[in-house]
Amino acid sequence: MIPRYSRPEMVAIWSPETKFKIWYEIEAHACEAMANLGVIPRENADAVWKAKDVEFDVARIDEIEAVTKHDVIAFLTHLAEHVGSEEARFVHQGMTSSDVLDTCLNVQLVRAADILLGGMDKVLAALKKRALEHKDTVRVGRSHGIHAEPTTMGLTFARFYAEMDRNKQRLQNARSEVATGAISGAVGTFANIDPRVEEHVCEQLGLSPEPISTQVIPRDRHAMFFATLGVIASSIENIAVEIRHMQRTEVLEGAEFFSMGQKGSSAMPHKKNPVLTENLTGLARLVRMAVIPAMENVALWHERDISHSSVERGIGPDATVTLDFALNRLAGVIDKMLVFPENMLDNMNKFPGLVMSQRVLLALTQAGVSREDAYSMVQRNALKVWEDRVDFRELLLADADVVAALGEEAINEKFDMGYHTKHVDTIFKRVFGA
């Protein structure tokens, strides 16, 4: 990804220097395991560890690869330059390139997942803080973009919290599923390498041995990993779209923080645009771009082909770097977000009392009026509110049929706002616990 949407810690995971360091560790641990089994001389395995503090020369490896046309062979040649040709002669014994490439990729994905989980924790903390802060801040709920019934801003934050909490669990599961390694040799039969080598390497790298590999680790694991990233990105967009709506001039129930010196428009000095959440919507699209290619990587020919390789070299860093940036940006947006309770009440009262229509409808049916007649009685008054912006309660009190069915006192009682917020505590306990 471009530096504008990148954070250094995640970028470092995908650097050539990090990749070659992981490759080295895989090879060194494999040699160590083979020496433990008596397959290679101990002194040769020990010699490989002489390079444990080496910073591998990326330019030199590229230079060798220009001749060999093979990245793993280029690396092994460079490693032998540090260890010594004779000492390194047992490196990679019985292994195939995919043992190194696939195991390395999964190490990188696990490390990336850990950073992403940290980003999700920041988002969750910000959402919980704002939910508790605005638990009782009343705002109108909307369906189809139209006023529906009252809710609270706290419930809005709480539902996003619950969604992100589910995503955290999904990512933890995806991390676990992709945390496997394979040191099984050509076509995965262990013909030229002992399965105990794989067990040792995986233990040292924090992975589990892949139960059955071919010449590659099965790509359904990676498909699930990237699909999970796509779901998380969609949830980020879900929150971003809500904030973008709230910041519309004619709504203005909430807004991104606008810092001193910030400019909203090159042409119109009055503008305060929701640039951060619009950016998050765009970044979500980039993350989701990785999902279909990852799923298409599942179907490989026989025991291996490399049609997946070029794809993963792109989507691995791009999706994780982008999502990492998006999560951290979202956490900041939520933490600093401005909320305008007065505007929420003003918006709800643009059509005075209209949001109480269902409660009146239910009261009429409970009073013995058929649902069809009750609906007609309520709707004829509600439509006048839409057309003339008059008070819904006053219209009901002037409607002889409604008054006859309910009485004035019962009609007035139906406009108590607390009716709609009485179970907020129950919902909060479900989401956040006692």
> Active-site positions?
144, 265
The residue assigned the tokens 């998050």 is: 280
In three-state secondary structure terms, 209 is strand
Contact 174, 161 (CB under 8 A): no
The three-state (H, E, C) secondary structure of 286-305, written as one string: HHHCCHHHHHHCCCCCCCCC
Contact 410, 370 (CB under 8 A): no
The Cβ of residue 148 has, within 10 Å, a number of other Cβ atoms equal to 15
Q: How far is CA 270 from CA 75, 131, 245, in A?
A: 57, 30, 18
Nearest to 247 by CA among 268, 267, 264: 264
Distance CA 163, CA 427 (A): 14
Phi-psi domain of 105 (left: phi exceeds 0; alpha: psi -120 through 50; beta: other): alpha
Distance CA 332, CA 233 (A): 16
The residue assigned the tokens 């046309």 is: 69
In a 13 Å sphere around the CA of 204, the CA atoms on its Cβ side amount to 22
Joined tokens for residue 163:
């969604």
DSSP state of 52: T
β-bridge mates for residue 138, sequence order: 152
In three-state secondary structure terms, 254 is strand
Distance CA 418, CA 259 (A): 36
| Total residues belonging to the chain | 434
Contact 308, 330 (CB under 8 A): no
DSSP state of 2: -
Joined tokens for residue 176:
């676990």
End-to-end CA distance of the chain, in Å?
Answer: 42
In three-state secondary structure terms, 155 is helix
Joined tokens for residue 402:
């409604």
